[in-house]
Amino acid sequence: MRSKEKVATYQDLVVISEGENNEPLIDVRKYDATIVVSYEKKDMLPYLGDKIFVRSAVAERLAAANKNLKKLGKFNLKIVYGYRHPEVQKAYFEKRRAELLVVNPLMSSEGIDTQAHQFVASPMVAGHPTGGAIDVTIISKEGISLDMGTKIADFSDPVKIRTFADSLTQIQKENRLLLKDILIKVGFAPFYGEWWHFSYGDREWAFFYGEKASLYKSIDFRVKK
């Protein structure tokens, strides 16, 4: 298991073999309807509607994590993102690449890709298009998010969104550790570059646990209308 200091780079992930065990994508709430689901972005609306989908083993582990969380108090998991269509991931990545090229016109293509990946995962290795990655937080019984120091996907302070950022209050540190510990206990891997991002079965997961290959690869999935 990796230390808290290590945030995987594109180079770390691209050398991990890509596997596929053919688990289906299912509604994230299939095994626990009390998990709160609420997209903060509307980019998946054309593909999935307002439902969030993940691989079946991810949904099972989230149900187990939510059960464990409830034993500690009147809390609940809130999922704001799961599967992302590869087209959406590519669009985000290409947008970031283009922005970097404006300020670094002489940088090599590989260098641009590496820098862009620090903000938006490269489609080559991204976890969301596999159905293995989630963006998640903890809420109270009143539906109020616990204080994590920043909002999900608030990149205005890239240092503060790191799980173990120094500038956090004690309460914020404890809340982040609670989220991390609850999810690691059921097999998720944290991405220490973003406190809200966790995964199971993707390359980030394989990197964190020292596996030679992922369980999932990027797939093209849409809800039939």
pLDDT at 3: 55
The packing angle between helices 109-117 and 86-103, to 10°, is: 120
In this prediction, residue 1 has a pLDDT band, given cuts at 50, 70 and 90, of low
In a domain, 81, yes or no: yes
pLDDT, one tens digit per residue, over 131-149 is 999 999 999 989 999 999 9
What pLDDT score was predicted for residue 184?
Answer: 97
Measured CA to CA, the distance from residue 121 to residue 127 in angstroms comes to 8
99: in domain? no
- CA distance readout (Å), 28 to 4, 57, 217: 27, 10, 18
Determine the structural domain holding residue 187 and report its residue range: 10-88+130-209
Greatest alpha-carbon pair distance for the chain in Å reads 55
Structural domain contains residue 149: yes
pLDDT of 57 over the 60 cut: yes
CATH code: domain of residue 151: 3.30.1380.10
The pLDDT tens digits for 65-88 are 999 999 988 899 999 999 999 999
Whether residue 160 lies inside any domain: the answer is yes
Phi and psi, residue 209, nearest 5°: -95, 5
Residue 223 lies in a domain: no
pLDDT of residue 218: 98
Residue 94 confidence class, pLDDT cut points 50, 70, 90: very high
Q: Per the domain annotation, does 27 fall within a domain?
A: yes
Total tally of structural domains belonging to the chain: 1
Is pLDDT of 37 > 80? yes
4: in domain: no
Average pLDDT of the residues in 81-108 = 93
**Pair of tokens at residue 150:** 């920043």
Let me know: does 199 contact 131? Beta carbons within 8 Å.
no
Domain annotation covers residue 93: no
Q: How many residues does the chain have?
A: 225
Q: Is the pTM of this model over 0.85?
A: yes
